[in-house]
Amino acid sequence: MQVPLSDPKEREQKDVSGLLASSFHASYLEDKLQMDEVLAQMSTFLLAGQETTASSEAVLMYLLATHPADQERLRAEVQAMYAGKAVNEPLEPADYDKLPFLNAVIKETLRLYTSVHTVTRHVDVDEVIPLAYPVTLEDGSKTTTLPVQRGERLLLSFRMYNRLRAVWGDDAAEWNPNRFLDGRPIHSNIGLFGNVMNFSSGVRGCLGWKFAVVEMQVVTALLVKTFEMSTLPSAKVKMLPNQFLLMPVLEGKEDEGPQVFLQLRAID
């Protein structure tokens, strides 16, 4: 029996590449994208959808390997979810949202080691930006506003916000997934996921943030369920910044590019 394909017009409205193609062929100038704009968007999808998620997942595995108690707690949570399934039955997408410690681990990894550490924004109009917390200037005075002028470029640090003690508490520089579960107040309501800024916020937030989170949920759950992870003493990982990304590299082997070495033991 042949299964009919869904309406191409319907697929266009749900598929990013379809939307880009539709915009390129749009009849009205205000709806039309130029080819360089389409290519720029596709480059963004490839970079943001592959390198950043892969880097974050590698760091997450390393953090679990260096925090065996958290690794075991996560494994117990995942195995309990699988125990309610038939043999070889995969988890449903909704199941991952019912795993609180899994999501806390993902949020804490993204918070502590954001793969995109800085973004730029260009100022369109003269404006005075209010600041949530006072800033000390070079002359020692404090200010709660930031005047900006049209044409200026702002560098916005996700890493700085994700480790801001005023938002996350005195242990902001430490790994602690339980911060998302213990009921402590997080003094911020921005960000698309877990109040972290990895996916930016507002109308220019990352289009693929939900897909990236689902990728990390699925991969993390399967790896933790299948393997016990530990570190190699000679393969210590650190985060190395390039222009806008933080990549995991091995200490003393930075020139070899992004990599994480772990020992995996299959779980019976």
> Which amino acids are annotated as binding site, given as ranges?
206
Quick one: how far is CA 147 from the chain centroid?
A: 30
Give the residue numbers of the binding site for heme.
Answer: 206
Residues 6+ away with beta carbon under 8 Å from 106: 60, 194, 213, 216, 217, 220
Sign (positive or negative) of CA dihedral 230, 235, 239, 242: negative
Would you list the DSSP string of the chain? -PPPPPPHHHHHTT-HHHHHHHHHT-SSGGGPPPHHHHHHHHHHHHIIIIIHHHHHHHHHHHHHHH-HHHHHHHHHHHHHHHHTS-TTPPPPHHHHTT-HHHHHHHHHHHHHS-SB-EEEEE--S-EEEEEEEEEE-TTS-EEEEEEE-TT-EEEEEHHHHHT-HHHH-TTTTS--GGGGTS----S---SSBTTBSTT--GGGS-TTHHHHHHHHHHHHHHHHHHEEEEE-TT--EEEEE-SSBEEEEETT-GGG-S---EEEEE--
Alpha-carbon distance of 64 to 71, in angstroms, equals 5
Cβ neighbours of 179 (radius 10 Å)? 20
